[in-house]
Chains A and B, each alone.
Chain A
Amino acid sequence: MNRFRFQRSQLCIPYGLFLVCFVLAPLVVIIYYAFTNGEGKPTLENLTGFFSSPNTIGTLAYSLGIAVSTTCACLLLAYPIAYILARSKMKHKSVILMIFVMPMWINFTLRITALKEILTVIEGNLAYHPFLNTLIGMTYDFLPFMILPIYTTLLKLDNSLLEASADLGADTVQTFLKVTFPLSVPGIISGIVMVFLPSMTNYVVLDMLYNSTYIMGSLIGAYFSAYDWHNGSMIALILLVIILLFTLFTNRYADEDAGSSRGGVLGS
């Protein structure tokens, strides 16, 4: 009889089980529903239906629009802050960083509710600018996820590189463009991944800020509550593929640009 021998790889079993039960199995179910129709027969209709309907394509475009603008807004706001914070000689940098990250400690629905009231005071009537409100809400929500990785990457930046750049005659702008910025790309990439993906589906923000237009997340929900699991699953699957492509693309980009430098979630 074989004696049970403990191996380090056995530590993976719990996670493996988790993966099979909660990731793999649901995925199989989604794929099954996505490629069958109401009678359980295999079909590609759900797929072709998605790409031939102006509504679903419109929803995809709208979601992408929100995700892209949120990511851009977050990047534009986060980079200068992260840069100033990381390069400053302040003693208590971490305290200031904490102030930026602090909103994350508060439940996000609560924050959006507060934001709703503030925006109402500023705009008067929220119904006139649904897209802008959504953009502000999402940016507010996801900004810390952009600041943190960029800040971490910039903090780790070797000062001697900047000194070398200066010694070789580059001015501050050139140093930033040729040295600092390229080296911070992995941080930017992981920030983008962390902001772009959730903002494509986070329909709670839209609901709470009175934007009644569907995005991908709410469209899936709408099909499911209409008992149409097949189209709902297909949209979920399409979203999954988009996310997968996006991640592959950013990963590759990060690898190419980062070279040997470390940092970022997916960059290393």
Chain B
Amino acid sequence: MRKTKRMHSFAAAGIVVLCGMLGRTVYADEEPVVLRVCSWEEYIDLGEWDAEEAIELENGAVIFGEKPLYEDFEEWYKETYGREVRVEYSCFGTNEDLYNQLNMGDTYDLVCPSEYMIMKLIAEDRLVPYSDHFYDTQDVHNYYIRNVSPYIQKTLESNEIDGVYWSDYAAGYMWGVTGVLYNPALVTEEEAATWEIFGNPKFSRQITLKDNVRDSYFAALGILKADELTDEALRCSDTYHDQLADIMNDVRPETIDQAQELLNQLMDNVYSLETDSGKADMITGKIVANYQWSGDAVYAMDQADEDGFELRFAVPKESTNLWFDGWVMLKNGIRGDADKQHAAEAFVNYLSRTDSAVRNMYYIGYTSSIAGNAQDDTIYEYLKWCYGVDGEEEILEYPVGYFFSGDNSDAHYILQSTVSQMGRQLYSQYPPQDVIDRAAIMRYFDADANKAINQMWINVRCFDIDDIPMGVWMALLAALMFAISMGFRKSRRR
């Protein structure tokens, strides 16, 4: 998840954790396993749903969040494995914050950073690989490997750093793409479906970029390399995906320089940079389009719908950033403790139950990496519950097989939705195949490149001393002279 600070939820989670800890009885005969989990703020269902919020699905499943998921996990673990476990759940604000926290000596057993931070942690040899048992589909309690979407698992298995595949160290949690949230009354889909909208003078000072270097750099690359990216020859090439990934991870010094120049221009065209305020500003009409992550776009569209106001989401035609967050176990937390690792893997498995995934999706608004399986179609039923047809609206056949079974022509996973869902919530949560095709993962950059793009971003954000108008310099000079002469007069009087 890319949201930043949400202090209230953090406080709420803190209170919940605290209360949970106070109200617990510790059995003297067996020390409970303590599992220290650190994740994004507002990134797990905290329960306390109203009774009418219960989701009744057609397959008979009733989804209801009474207590926080990690407390339900503690009960489930005790029932299933006969062992006490205590979850100490805390939150972090950004990937960089988490990394700094780890460097300052905070120890956690299980954390949920984004893909590039996972790469960094793998490269620095800080992670514990999942056990072989975790991938054993025969064990009914191995919910993760039984339920994970083939699309996500394939992505994890096909990406590596230093010859190590991500799937050995990371279990997918939430995922999404980036794009442009726009107001269809003022912006056409064609205008929104390109990164060039941020430089479009028609929307001068009415669009926002993201306030972080990686997202802004991705948009800049999308504009700089637009011709290359939309070239049919590239699209049809056998190695399209590899080439796409290389283009969108270009950190050569000259590319960074071009990006800096471009971002400087964009800064004169956009309304501002934001991380969280963009959603509200779209709804109040301060801006007409903003750079958005699919999950937050869903949230904003839901909010706008309640106000009787339509927002839509477009994915740029050049390329989009496929991101995901995953659970990884830390070496300095687990410390070879088999009980702890077992509890950590069980925690991931518990969150990967289809009912937990639905609870999380309902609560957070992001898309879970969990798809279910042939026996358990709860996730797909939830999708139908959210976006299935009602009334006699025009029917849209929306294939989501790529996510659920790995085959997009799978007749079982063609959702009967409405035409009005195109470019809306369904489209954002489970983007269609053509969007998935042009999605690129932004990797972790090595230390030098990382330093260079961070410096580039600082350069873009800093005030240029040459921008001070001549008049201000003159005024300053005059003020200085005045001050000196005053001081002089005073000391002479004495």
Residues of A participating in the B interface, judged by any CB pair closer than 8 Å: 54-59, 61-62, 65, 120, 125-128, 208, 210-214, 218-219, 222-228
User: Is there a chain A Cβ closer than 8 Å to B9's Cβ?
Assistant: no
If A225-B96, A227-B99 touch, whether A212 touches B465 (CB-CB below 8 Å) is no
Is B466 a contact of A227 with CB atoms below 8 Å? no
Is A61 a contact of B94 with CB atoms below 8 Å? no
Given A54-B466, A55-B463, A219-B458, 12 more A-B residue pairs with CB atoms under 8 Å apart are: A62-B463, A125-B205, A127-B270, A127-B272, A208-B277, A210-B274, A212-B211, A213-B462, A222-B461, A225-B96, A225-B97, A226-B454
How many cross-chain pairs have Cβ atoms below 8 Å apart between A and B? 78
Is A57 a contact of B272 with CB atoms below 8 Å? no
- 22 A-B residue pairs with Cβ-Cβ distance under 8 Å, sorted by A, are A54-B466, A55-B462, A58-B462, A58-B464, A59-B462, A61-B463, A62-B463, A125-B206, A126-B272, A212-B272, A213-B461, A214-B462, A219-B458, A219-B462, A222-B454, A223-B458, A224-B96, A225-B94, A225-B100, A226-B96, A226-B451, A227-B100
Is B458 a contact of A55 with CB atoms below 8 Å? yes
Task: Tell me which of A55, A57, A125 has the highest count of chain B C-beta atoms within 10 A of its own C-beta.
Answer: A55
Is B463 a contact of A212 with CB atoms below 8 Å? no
Interface string of B262-285 (1 = CB under 8 A from A): 000001001111100100000000
Q: Which 4 A-B pairs have the closest CB atoms?
A: A210-B272, A55-B462, A226-B454, A62-B463
When C-beta atoms are compared, the residue in chain A nearest to B280 turns out to be: A113
CB contacts (< 8 Å) of A210 on chain B: these are: 271-272, 274
User: Is there a chain A Cβ closer than 8 Å to B286's Cβ?
Assistant: yes
A32 CB to nearest chain B CB (Å): 14
Task: Tell me which of A126, A127, A211, A214 has the highest count of chain B C-beta atoms within 10 A of its own C-beta.
Answer: A127
B372 CB to nearest chain A CB (Å): 37
B347 CB to nearest chain A CB (Å): 28
Q: How far is the CA of A153 from the CA of B100 in the complex (A)?
A: 46
Is B96 a contact of A214 with CB atoms below 8 Å? no
A76 CB to nearest chain B CB (Å): 15
Q: How far is the CA of A61 from the CA of B465 in the complex (A)?
A: 7
Q: How far is the CA of A219 from the CA of B460 in the complex (A)?
A: 12
User: Is there a chain A Cβ closer than 8 Å to B131's Cβ?
Assistant: no
Is B96 a contact of A227 with CB atoms below 8 Å? yes
CB contacts (< 8 Å) of A58 on chain B: these are: 462-465, 467
A97 CB to nearest chain B CB (Å): 32
User: Is there a chain A Cβ closer than 8 Å to B217's Cβ?
Assistant: no
Is A212 a contact of B100 with CB atoms below 8 Å? no
Is B461 a contact of A212 with CB atoms below 8 Å? yes
A77 CB to nearest chain B CB (Å): 20
User: Is there a chain A Cβ closer than 8 Å to B459's Cβ?
Assistant: yes
Near A by CB (< 8 A), chain B positions 123-181 give none
CB contacts (< 8 Å) of B411 on chain A: these are: none
Q: How far is the CA of A59 from the CA of B99 in the complex (A)?
A: 27
When C-beta atoms are compared, the residue in chain B nearest to A66 turns out to be: B463
Q: How far is the CA of A227 from the CA of B461 in the complex (A)?
A: 17
Is B461 a contact of A228 with CB atoms below 8 Å? no
User: Is there a chain A Cβ closer than 8 Å to B457's Cβ?
Assistant: yes
Q: How far is the CA of A62 from the CA of B100 in the complex (A)?
A: 28
Is B463 a contact of A214 with CB atoms below 8 Å? yes
Q: How far is the CA of A227 from the CA of B124 in the complex (A)?
A: 15
A54 CB to nearest chain B CB (Å): 5
Interface string of B437-472 (1 = CB under 8 A from A): 000000000000011001101110111111110001
Task: Name the one of B451, B462, B464 contacting A228, with C-beta atoms under 8 angstroms.
Answer: B451
If A58-B462, A58-B463, A212-B211 touch, whether A224 touches B454 (CB-CB below 8 Å) is no
B493 CB to nearest chain A CB (Å): 12
Q: How far is the CA of A54 from the CA of B277 in the complex (A)?
A: 30
B456 CB to nearest chain A CB (Å): 11
Q: How far is the CA of A126 from the CA of B285 in the complex (A)?
A: 13
Near A by CB (< 8 A), chain B positions 94-125 give 94, 96-97, 99-100, 103
Q: How far is the CA of A125 from the CA of B466 in the complex (A)?
A: 25
Q: How far is the CA of A215 from the CA of B426 in the complex (A)?
A: 41
CB contacts (< 8 Å) of A62 on chain B: these are: 463
Is A222 a contact of B100 with CB atoms below 8 Å? no
CB contacts (< 8 Å) of A55 on chain B: these are: 458-459, 462-464
B403 CB to nearest chain A CB (Å): 33
Task: Name the one of A61, A126, A212, A214 contacting B458, with C-beta atoms under 8 angstroms.
Answer: A214
Is A228 a contact of B463 with CB atoms below 8 Å? no
Task: Tell me which of B103, B272, B455, B463 has the highest count of chain A C-beta atoms within 10 A of its own C-beta.
Answer: B463
When C-beta atoms are compared, the residue in chain B nearest to A55 turns out to be: B462
A63 CB to nearest chain B CB (Å): 9
B8 CB to nearest chain A CB (Å): 12
B2 CB to nearest chain A CB (Å): 14
A59 CB to nearest chain B CB (Å): 5
CB contacts (< 8 Å) of B457 on chain A: these are: 222
Task: Tell me which of B211, B450, B462 has the highest count of chain A C-beta atoms within 10 A of its own C-beta.
Answer: B462
Is B267 a contact of A212 with CB atoms below 8 Å? yes
A5 CB to nearest chain B CB (Å): 40
Is A212 a contact of B273 with CB atoms below 8 Å? yes
